[in-house]
């Protein structure tokens, strides 16, 4: 189904002029890996705030379930099946979104392999698993940015938000493949910010702490309490703790902020 392309309601001047510059209303927001966990909550919250939420995920049934939640709450969304590690699949996803809404304003690269990763010493990680983690977490992020960039350049507006991890600064043991992949995402963010800044496109990164979601991360209650006790804000982190910074980075209010990695972890990695 083809609909009339939407047009922007305000120019990305770089100087916030009204409360609308802090709004995500009517923005087309693509969130990968949005059928569960952090991505699901972000999709629900963006839609609740008036954005058009694209729930992009490998599991189409779960993605459609999230979109139904969004519609039941009065929002608007679209479920699209995508394998972020596969270039044709990513391009097809982007084409579907552009055909429906005429543009992509925001890309949140949330899809990654983590919960299913087997922990182990670096020299015992199977090479096949190492390559799979990097293909999804790093190449997948790259392919999604590459696919949306042309449309954002044409619009002279774009917000790309990558998601890394606090494990990068902590050097979490027995997760070398994951930590390496999320370190690469930060480096990618820095370089992309320079390449795309002249087109009105900002590229930033959010580095969450340990987020409690419906996805089983095989963490004990004691383990979660131990992490919370080491934070400046000593409570467990939930997906909604990420919503504020995501909204801000998705709007015109953040037009002069790019190439930054923002920690949202209750101060767990805060250095004195």
Instruction: Using alpha carbons, list the distances in angstroms from residue 121 to 118, 174, 182, 218.
Output: 10, 5, 18, 18
Look over the chain and give the mean of its residue pLDDT values, rounded to a whole number.
90
Domain residue limits, the chain: 24-264
Q: Residue 15 corresponds to which tokens in the numbers above? A: 């100087």
The greatest distance separating any two alpha carbons of the chain, rounded to the nearest whole angstrom, comes to: 55
* C-alpha span between 32 and 86 (Å, rounded): 13
Q: What is the pLDDT of residues 78-108, one digit of tens each?
A: 999 999 999 999 999 999 999 999 999 999 9
Active site residue 268: no
**What global pTM score does this model have?**
0.90
Q: What is the pLDDT of residues 179-214, one digit of tens each?
A: 999 999 999 999 999 999 999 999 999 999 888 877
**131 Cβ contact partners less than 8 Å away, ≥ 6 residues apart:** none
Contact call for residues 109 and 159 (beta carbons, < 8 A)? no
Q: At how many degrees (to 10) do helices 176-196 and 127-134 cross?
A: 30
Q: Does domain 24-264 have CATH number 3.40.50.720?
A: yes
């Amino acid at each position: 189904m083809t609909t009339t392309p939407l047009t922007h309601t305000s120019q990305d001047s770089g100087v916030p002029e009204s409360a609308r510059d802090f709004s995500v209303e009517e923005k087309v927001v693509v969130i990968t890996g949005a059928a569960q966990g952090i991505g699901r909550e972000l999709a629900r919250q963006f839609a609740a705030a008036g954005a058009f939420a694209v729930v992009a995920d490998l599991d189409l049934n779960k993605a459609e379930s999230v979109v139904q939640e969004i519609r039941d709450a009065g929002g608007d969304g679209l479920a699209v099946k995508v394998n972020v590690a596969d270039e044709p699949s990513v391009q097809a996803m982007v084409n579907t979104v552009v055909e429906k809404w005429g543009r992509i304003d925001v890309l949140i690269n949330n899809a990654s392999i983590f919960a299913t990763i087997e922990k182990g010493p670096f020299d015992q990680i199977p090479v096949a698993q190492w390559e799979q983690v990097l293909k999804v977490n790093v190449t997948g992020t790259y392919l999604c940015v590459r696919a949306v960039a042309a449309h954002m350049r044409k619009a002279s507006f774009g917000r790309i938000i990558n998601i890394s991890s606090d494990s990068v600064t902590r050097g979490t043991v027995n997760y070398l493949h994951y930590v390496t992949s999320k370190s690469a995402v930060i480096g990618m963010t820095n370089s992309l910010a320079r390449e795309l800044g002249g087109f009105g496109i900002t590229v930033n990164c959010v580095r969450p702490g340990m987020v409690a979601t419906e996805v089983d991360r095989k963490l004990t209650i004691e383990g979660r309490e131990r992490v919370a006790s080491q934070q400046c804000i000593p409570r467990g982190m939930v997906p909604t703790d990420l919503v504020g910074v995501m909204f801000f980075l998705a709007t015109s209010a953040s037009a002069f902020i790019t190439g930054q990695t923002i920690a949202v972890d209750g101060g767990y990695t805060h250095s004195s």
